[in-house]
Amino acid sequence: GGQASLSRFRGALVSGVLGDCIGGEFEGAEEVPMESVLEHLYGLDEETRGDGILEYSDDTAMARCVVQSLLTRTGFDEQDMARRFAKEYSASPGRGYGSGVIQVLKKLSCPRLSDVFQPARDQFNGRGSFGNGGAMRAAPFALAFPDKADVKRSTRLGAMLTHSCSLGYNGAILQALAVHFSLQGALETPQKFITNLIAEMEEVEDTEAARNDARILKEADKPFCERLHRVKELMERSKVSIEEVISELGNGIAALHSVPTAIFCVLHCLKPVECLPQTYNGLERTIAYSLALGGDTDTIACMAGAIAGAHYGSESIPQTWMRCCEGVEDADRDAERLHALYHQIPFKR
Ligand code: F2R
Ligand code: MG
Ligand code: MG
């Protein structure tokens, strides 16, 4: 479809859910042989599967809260979003949340809480979380606002409800920007896509708080920019092994070790990949490749899925995969409503 078409919205939201549900199988695994990935994916094609048997985890649970809040409030409302996170956690605490963020979600449900950003600030002795929990739910912000400045501002605040460390919320901004650009067709020119992301992050990371966090955590001056330069360098190599990707970019639970990785997965899979079936389309390659990295597979596949889905559109999503994953129908319906909000077309409530 054309720029910011309905197909791209559906592709982004549904593929994020697929990445989470399908990637959950390998979350935390140190090594994932490609044969195991393909076996898992072939299993989804079997007639006996279906009916949403692969459950979504915290990634989708929180993204759904973001979507419902943005749609109901027709914009960003921190009180409403915080309330939804807390309510969702107390209704389904077993979705595999990070061990730190649980404290924030419990505090957010306290009716006497006056500042909804305070529980996040109290995390990790006042340092705040640098986990990828803000980034894993960032895609809907890019689907709600056409203006880049609105995407950055709302994503930052939405992430800061649980992640007050700049290495957490800036990772969320990077993920939202990747979806924002992809939605507009920017992946047609991959070099320009990565150059634009670096230019944006140069500005995003140019704050006192970011410099301070980077210094304390002994990271590069602008950690996300530095990682994106590594992505660019890996893209330029004729051959890259999975081991090199993991050692250069990471596959862990920190936003810094997973958001640039997800972006690399999308870029690397724009063309056929040697170890993957020739019959796979770009979206299938992206999800499969994300799983093969091991580590935080549900989250990396969820983020890569959202970026790739915004590029390839809903037509490239295998029906058999959709049938197996919980929450796909809701995502499909919500994508339509977000598309209307983004384009300011009146939608039925
Ligand atoms: N948590 C998981 N998966 C492992 C456990 C699954 C579960 N027990 C099960 O088996 O069902 N996955 C999900 O968590 C990630 C998102 O995490 P989030 O929301 O960022 O959480 P948190 O707790 O804020 O941060 C995660 C961990 O990172 C470390 N960390 C963060 N900031 C830190 C800091 N300033 N100093 C030291 N460590 C810090 C801590 O270990 C946190 O627990 C996604 O993968 C999602 O799928
Ligand atoms: Mg998860
Ligand atoms: Mg995860």
Is pLDDT larger for residue 13 or for residue 2?
Answer: 13
**Burial of residue 35, with CB atoms counted within 10 A of its CB: 0-12 exposed, 13-18 middle, 19 or more buried:** exposed
At 2 the pLDDT is 84
| Bridge partners, residue 131, by sequence | 254
Q: Determine if ligand 1 sits within 6 Å of the CB of residue 58.
A: yes
Q: Give the span between the Cα atoms of 170 and 65, in whole angstroms.
A: 20
CA of 95 to the centre of ligand 2 (A): 7
| 105 has pLDDT over 80 | yes
pLDDT tens profile 107-129:
999 999 999 999 999 999 999 99
Is 297 close to ligand 1, i.e. is its CB under 6 Å away?
Answer: no
pLDDT of 167-206, one tens digit each? 999 999 999 999 999 999 999 999 999 999 999 999 999 9
What pLDDT sits at residue 348?
63
Query: 54 forms bridges with which residues in the sheet?
Result: 325
CA distance 20 to 2: 26
Q: Answer yes or no: is pLDDT of 339 > 90.
A: yes
The answer to whether the pTM exceeds 0.95 is: yes
193 and 181 Cβ atoms separated by less than 8 Å: yes
Split at pLDDT 50, 70, 90, the class of 349 is low
Q: From the CA of 91, how far away is ligand 3's center (Å)? A: 20
Calculated CA dihedral for residues 284, 289, 294, 300, nearest 10 degrees:
-70
283 neighbors 308 (Cβ within 8 angstroms) = yes
pLDDT tens digits for range 203-228 = 999 999 999 999 999 999 999 999 99
Please give the structure tokens belonging to residue 274. 């040697």
**Quick one: pLDDT at residue 48?**
60
Task: Tell me what the mean pLDDT of segment 216-243 comes to.
Answer: 97
Give residue-wise pLDDT tens across range 43-91: 998 766 666 689 999 999 999 999 999 999 999 999 999 999 999 999 9
Q: What is the pLDDT of residue 51?
A: 65
Q: What is the pLDDT of residue 346?
A: 75
Q: Write out the residues surrounding ion ligand 3, Cβ under 5 A.
A: 296, 298-299
Taking the C-alpha atoms of residue 310 and residue 175, their distance in angstroms, rounded to an integer, is: 12
- The alpha carbon of 25 and the centre of ligand 1 are apart by a number of angstroms equal to 17
Tell me if 100 CB under 6 Å of ligand 1. Answer: yes
Please give the number of the atom of ligand 1 that sits closest to the Cα of 127. Answer: 35
Long-range CB contacts for residues 74-80, cutoff 8 Å, separation at least 24: 74/341, 75/144, 75/154, 76/141, 76/153, 76/154, 76/157, 76/158, 78/116, 78/117, 78/157, 78/158, 78/161, 79/116
Q: What percent of the chain has pLDDT over 70?
A: 97
Q: CB–CB of 341/70 below 8 Å? A: yes
Please, what is the average pLDDT of the chain?
A: 96
Ligand nearest to the CA of 171: 1
3-state secondary structure (DSSP) of residue 254 = strand
Q: Which atom of ligand 1 is nearest to the CA of 298?
A: 47
Around ion ligand 2, which residues have CB less than 5 A away?
Answer: 57-59, 96, 298
